[in-house]
Structure 1
C-alpha cells in the first residue's frame, strides 16, 4: 500500500492506533514514577543531614527524623565554627588544590609521552602501569605508610600529598586516549614550523584538551575532598587533619552528638554542592566524556 493510499480524506497521515496511546502514556507514567522514587531515595539522606543539623538535641528526640525542628537552631554550626573545624576545612581545601594541580600537570606530561613520543618499551610500560588499576587501594596503604615512615614524612604535608600528587593510572589513561584522538596533522604542522615537543604540547595540544582537563579536574577535586583512609593513617596532628578525619573524630567522644556530626557533614557537603551548582554543565560533560572514552 502506498503512502497516498494511507492518507485520510483530509490529506493527513493517520496517527497511531487508539489502543497504543494509553499504553504509551502508562509506560511514561511508570518511568517517571520509578525515576522520582530513585531521586527521592538519593536525596533523602542529604535532607536528613540538613534537617538534623538545625535541630537541638531535645528536638532530635522529640520529632521524627524527616520533620524539621521548630524553631530551627544554628547552635550546632556555631559550635563547630568556633572550634578548629574551619582549620580542618582549610586543610582540606589546600590538599584538594595541591592534588588537583599536581594531577593536571604530571598526568598531562605522562599522557603526552605515552601517546605521542616514541621510545623503547613505551606500550609495555603503559599497560604495566595501567594494570595497577586492578590492585585495590587498601592493598597499597601499608607499603606506602612504610615508605613514608622511612622517609620521615609521617604527619607531614609531603606524606599526605606525595602518593597521589604525581598522577594516577586512570588520569593518565584518560588523557592518553584524548591525545590519541587528536589529529596528528596538527602536531606535524607545528613541528614543520620548528616547534619542539614542549611547545607542541603547551601551545597546540593543551588548548584542545580543555574538555579532558576539566573532566580530570572534577574527578580529582571530588576524590580529594572525600579522601579519608590515607589522611586517617598518615596524619595525626591538627596541622594536617582534613575534614573527613575530623568528622570521624566527632564520634570518639563520650555520648555521640548526632546533631554536631550532621552539622559537620553539612559544612563538608556545602563546597561540593556549590561546585555542582556553578559547574554542572562541565560535570555533565565530564560524565559524557568518560563514558565515550
Structure 2
C-alpha cells in the first residue's frame, strides 16, 4: 500500500508539472493587462475577459493559422509519400552501396538542426527561395532521416514471403509496395503522420529564418513577434498560444489511440 501511495503521488506530481503550463496559458489568455499584475499567475482574473482572443481573431492571426495548417498538411503528405518510397528502397531493393548510403543518411540525425540552418538559408538564397512557400517546405517535404529509419525498420519486420508470392504473380516493385506493403504499414504511417503534424505545427526556427512576410508567416513566428523592444504583451501572447493549442488538443482527443500506439511503436523500433 505504501508503494502504491508513493507511486500515485509521484504520478500526480508529474501530471501537475506537465499540465501546469497549459493552465497558465488558459488563465492568462482571459486576463486583462491590469489583472496580470494584480493577480497571481496561477489564479484566474475576475471577471474573465474574452477580448484578448477576440482581438487576435479579428486581426491577421487567422491567416497565420491557415498558413500553418497548409504547411503542416503539405509537409505531412510529402513525408508520407517520399519517406515511404525511400524506406522501401533501403529495406527491400538491392543496389550497390545501399547500406552505406542508408547509414550515412541516418548519421545526419546526430547533427543538431541549428548547425544546418545557415547552410540551408544560403542555399535557399542562391535559389531565390527566401520568403517563399518553396523555401519554407523544401528542406523537410522530401523526408527526414528519422522518418526513413522508422519506416525502413517496419518494412524489414514484414515477412519476405509476401513479396515473393506477389512476384510469382507477376507484380513489380511498385505494385508490391502499393498493394501489398502499404496496407500492412498503417500503424507506422499513422505514427509518422502524428509525429510530422506535431513537429510541423510547432516548427519555429526555420520559419523564423526563411520567412519575413505575412504571406508565409506561421503561428509560432506570429506569436513571437508580439514581443517588441518595449515590452511583452503576455495576455495577447497567451491568447495566441491558446488558439494555436486548440488544434493540437483536438488531434489528441480524436487520435489518442493512435498517439499511444505511436509511442509504443517508436519505443519498440
Q: Provide the TM-score with structure 2 as the length reference.
A: 0.99
Give distance in 2, aligned partners of 1:253 and 1:268: 24
Give distance in 2, aligned partners of 1:254 and 1:78: 23
Larger radius of gyration: 1
How many equivalent residue pairs?
269
Q: Which runs of 4+ in 1 moved over 6 A?
A: none
What's 1:14 paired with?
none
2:154 maps to 1:178: yes
What's 2:133 paired with?
157
What's 1:94 paired with?
70
Where does 1:65-80 land on structure 2 (aligned, <5 Å)? 65-80=41-56
Give distance in 2, aligned partners of 1:237 and 1:79: 21
The higher-RCO structure (CA 8 Å, 6+ apart) is 2
Unaligned regions of 5+ residues in structure 2, if any? none
What's 2:217 paired with?
241
Unaligned regions of 5+ residues in structure 1, if any? 1-24
Higher helix share: 2
Shift of 1:67: 1.2
2:116 maps to 1:140: yes
Give distance in 2, aligned partners of 1:253 and 1:241: 20
Q: C-alpha root-mean-square deviation of aligned residues, in Å?
A: 0.7
Give distance in 2, aligned partners of 1:53 and 1:67: 12
Deviations 1:211-265 (A, max 9, x none): 0000000000010001000000000000000000000000126332111111011
2:81 maps to 1:105: yes
What's 2:6 paired with?
30
What's 1:43 paired with?
19
State which of 145, 155, 171 in structure 2 corresponds to 1:195: 171
Give distance in 2, aligned partners of 1:187 and 1:262: 52
Give distance in 2, aligned partners of 1:112 and 1:38: 39
State which of 242, 245, 263 in structure 1 corresponds to 2:239: 263
Where does 1:220-239 land on structure 2 (aligned, <5 Å)? 220-239=196-215
